[in-house]
Amino acid sequence: MTVGSGAVTGRAVWAVVGLVLVGLAGCTSAPAEQGAAPPGSTSQGPPVSSPAPEVTPVGLAIVPGDKAVDVAPGEPVRVTATGGRLTEVVVTNQDGKPVGGQLAADGTSWQSTEPLGYGKSYTATATGQGADGKTAAATASFSTVTPRRQTNLSISPLDGQTVGVGLPLAFYFDTAIADKAAAERAIKITTTPAVEGAFYWFDDRQVQWRPEDYWKPGTKITVNAAVYGKDLGNGVYGREDRAANITVGDSVIIHADGQTHQATVAINGVVARTIPISMGKRGYETPQGTFVVMSEHTNYIMDSSTYGVPVDSPQGYRTKVAVATRLSNSGIFYHSAPWSVRQQGNSNVSHGCINMSTENSRWLQEVSNRGDIFIVSNSGGQRLEPTDGIGVWQIPWAEWRKGGKR
């Protein structure tokens, strides 16, 4: 007799019912079936084999993805393989020129090692092989952004320079930067020994970075401002990267006191010389605060008209000095002043600068660097403004860490 798929034979019905009855019997023992192992013995059935692990094909991913537009050329092309390894990656521009790249040691990722161009088209092709031995391929075509404007970046100090312990790292854009966080991410600063530091924006174009305290003498600083191809907001992108390796020299810190009329020079914490000085007279008091040496000059013309006093006025002057070191944008220098040697050490007679003898000013310039610290106290002058020269140490660390006009 033929039974359809929906029918059950009598034997099958009894089998099902028997199972149900056994289930209902609970604690009642059923007679042992013929050939079954007696109670208390163990039975070794046939081995049960584990199912073979499932092998998935290799998966390939390309970033930027296919048909992506306005890609930032400063970001690398990345290709990854899951469940296998990459066997080949080729990225070419619209002219067929290949883009350099590096395959990871484990073969699971690839990244471009040279920047892309602005306003260009590219094609990335990747092949890979999975653990199952099968191969796969993926292709992505994309285009890079054409910036509304490209910005130039200047940095200070420059590559190879040795600087004083007070000099910050300064970055000057020639265009207002809308996305300041992106600009900060593009600027990498590493130091040996390591030190905590922070960025502070003085305006939309100028940002500086400094540690909480003065640099340690001998610190090595590496700056990598990789702004090319980075989106800095409002359609502005970096034109060119900047880099520098900088060394911090000896610690030279000068304390100039307007009451004692003396300047104490400490080199690496040891007083090297005490110099008689004369600061600004009444009405021309020298600003008070922590100055940073900006630039050093010899045979320099001191001109009162540079800070608003005409040369032909009663307080005007235009005089050449043998040694001059700039401390502020507003015209404060320490400089040689042989005409006031008699007042140096006992009274303040200058127009705001710190007068010294020619011998002392020359010695100080010889032992110091741009970036050294020059602290003025008890002069009777106004507080030095942080924007007057390199006045970064006039800003408390808690305030500096807030980022300024970020």
State residue 52's pLDDT score.
60
CATH of 149-248, one of 1.10.3720.10, 2.60.40.3710, 2.60.40.10, 2.60.40.1930: 2.60.40.3710
Is the whole model's pTM more than 0.85, yes or no? no
- Which CATH number applies to 59-143? 2.60.40.3780
Pair 123, 130: CB distance under 8 Å: no
Number of helices followed by number of strands (H, E) in the chain? 4, 26
- pLDDT digit string, tens, across residues 177-199: 999 999 999 999 999 999 999 99
The CATH 2.60.40.3710 domain(s) of the chain lie at 149-248
- Provide the edge-to-edge strand list for the sheet that holds 242-248: 162-163, 242-248, 220-225, 187-192
Q: Give the phi and the psi of residue 399 in degrees, each rounded to 5.
A: -75, -40
**Residue 60 near residue 136, CB atoms below 8 Å:** yes
Which range, of 182-191, 299-308, 391-400, averages the lowest pLDDT? 299-308
Give the pLDDT band (50/70/90) at residue 33.
very low
* Ranges of CATH 2.60.40.3780 domains, the chain: 59-143
Long-range contacts of 321-325 (CB under 8 A, 24+ apart): 322/298, 322/358, 322/361, 322/362, 323/297, 323/298, 323/358, 323/361, 323/362, 323/365, 324/296, 324/297, 324/298, 324/300, 324/361, 325/293, 325/295, 325/296, 325/297, 325/361, 325/364, 325/365, 325/368
Q: Give per-residue pLDDT as tens, 118-161.
A: 999 999 999 999 988 999 999 999 999 999 999 999 999 999 99
Torsion angle, alpha carbons of 376, 379, 380, 386, to 10 = -20
List, by residue number, the catalytic residues: 335, 353
CATH class, range 252-392: mainly beta
Task: Give the pLDDT of residue 30.
Answer: 39
Q: What are phi and psi of 25, to 5 degrees?
A: -65, -25
Which pair of structure tokens corresponds to residue 137? Answer: 């391929």
Q: Averaged over 71-91, what is the pLDDT? A: 97
**Segments of the chain assigned to CATH 2.40.440.10:** 252-392
Residue 21, pLDDT score? 29
pLDDT band, very low/low/confident/very high, at 317 (cuts 50, 70, 90):
confident
